Chain A
Amino acid sequence: DAGVTQSPTHLIKTRGQQVTLRCSPKSGHDTVSWYQQALGQGPQFIFQYYEEEERQRGNFPDRFSGHQFPNYSSELNVNALLLGDSALYLCASSRLRTDTQYFGPGTRLTVL
């Protein structure tokens, strides 16, 4: 049983560009959450998707947007990249009304 997968593993962009990160949830999971983890800090919640709708959002600007597809996979889009967007982006999946979130290995984004 494959766990949560994310692509790409690493990504380098320049300021002002746009980026799309992808996540496939664990089999049987219908809910996907995205987190940003800066170096040396704990992950920070960006948003969560369920039934292709954004269900909850953290304190992130509108430059951060997402999408969930009918097969429950998800994308995170970041526009107008800033140097401060450099971080590890983590995807977590879960089943509705369960407590456990399963995290993927993350995508390391570097903005130059």
Chain B
Amino acid sequence: DAKTTQPNSMESNEEEPVHLPCNHSTISGTDYIHWYRQLPSQGPEYVIHGLTSNVNNRMASLAIAEDRKSSTLILHRATLRDAAVYYCILRPMNDYKLSFGAGTTVTVRA
């Protein structure tokens, strides 16, 4: 499985943007980039995914580098509810599983 590298932790202030980096230098052309998050005492929750182009949805934006070796998840205005572990995952096109790493623990200060 292609590997991702994320910082262990990040802190942010409420109502400020959060930029979560993910390195995936061994990504292949058919690997999708997925982001999930896990709030305390809950199962993981889908955030966003993309292949080559930047993506936006109601929760976040995903910026993908031109060479696809890195990506950034952007939370535009952090709230206390966004405090969670964020996982960056590469999923090959014909693979069904999600391969979670350790993720980034995001803390939001009021």
Contacts and interface: CB of A to CB of B under 8 A. Distances in A.
**Which residue, B34, B46, B87, has most C-beta atoms of chain A within 10 A?**
B46
Contacts of A1: none
Contact of A42 (B32, B34, B103): B103
Interface string A9-52: 00000000000000000000001010100000111110010000
A36 to B, nearest CB: 11
Nearest to A44: B100
- What range describes how many residues of B lie at the interface? 20 to 34
A16 B95 CA distance: 33
B91 interface: yes
Secondary structure class of chain B's binding surface, majority of residues: loop
Contacts of B100: 35, 42-44
- How many of chain A's residues touch chain B, expressed as a range? 20 to 34
Interface of B: 32, 34, 41-46, 49, 85, 87, 91, 95-103
Contacts of B96: 31, 33, 48, 55-56
24 contacts: A4-B43, A31-B96, A33-B97, A42-B85, A42-B87, A42-B100, A42-B101, A44-B100, A45-B99, A48-B96, A56-B96, A56-B97, A58-B97, A90-B44, A92-B98, A99-B32, A99-B34, A99-B49, A103-B43, A103-B44, A103-B45, A104-B43, A105-B41, A105-B43
A100 B44 contact: no
A56 B91 CA distance: 14
A101 B96 CA distance: 10
Contacts of B85: 42
B107 to A, nearest CB: 16
A9 B101 CA distance: 25
Interface in A63-77: none
A100 to B, nearest CB: 5
